[in-house]
């Protein structure tokens, strides 16, 4: 080689988003408690390109402050309900529902 040429090369791979639109929330969230579980129901998101719903399950203390690390429940986009199991009776929880687009973009929170 001569001059300022280099034999080193760098490759960059990038993927563009299919759609950068923030998906709409499911417009309604309702819950029914059971023994160690909660059933959640919602209306489907009006957005056309929903890949999944994600529900963040956060345990709360008696002052309704977050305790520990939340867990995530993933639900198929064709469903508008789920049962969250393995909950402790008498414990407060916060459930946050997100619509997730096929591009991986999350909706605004709905609690």
Spatial distance between the Cα atoms of 88 and 77, rounded to a whole number of angstroms: 27
How many Å separate Cα 68 from the centre of its chain? 18
Determine the average pLDDT of the residues in 90-105: 89
Q: Which pLDDT band, with edges at 50, 70 and 90, does 104 fall under?
A: confident
Summarize pLDDT for 23-58 with one digit per residue, the tens. 666 666 788 999 999 999 998 888 878 899 999 999
Q: What is the pLDDT of residues 67-96, one digit of tens each?
A: 999 999 999 999 999 999 999 999 999 998
29 versus 1: which is more confidently predicted?
29
Q: What is the DSSP letter of 103?
A: T
Put the strands of the sheet holding 50-60 in their side by side order.
Answer: 66-75, 50-60, 92-101
The pLDDT value given to residue 84: 94
């Amino acid at each position: 080689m001569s001059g300022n040429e280099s034999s080193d090369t760098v490759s960059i791979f990038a993927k563009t988003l299919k759609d950068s639109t923030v998906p709409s929330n499911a417009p309604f969230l309702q819950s029914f408690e059971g023994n160690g579980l909660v059933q959640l129901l919602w209306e489907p998101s009006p957005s056309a390109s929903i890949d999944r719903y994600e529900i963040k399950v956060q345990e709360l203390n008696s002052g309704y402050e977050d305790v520990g690390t939340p867990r995530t429940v993933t639900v198929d986009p064709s469903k508008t309900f789920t049962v969250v199991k393995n909950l402790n009776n008498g414990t407060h929880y916060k459930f946050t529902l997100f619509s997730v687009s096929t591009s991986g973009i999350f909706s605004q929170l709905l609690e």
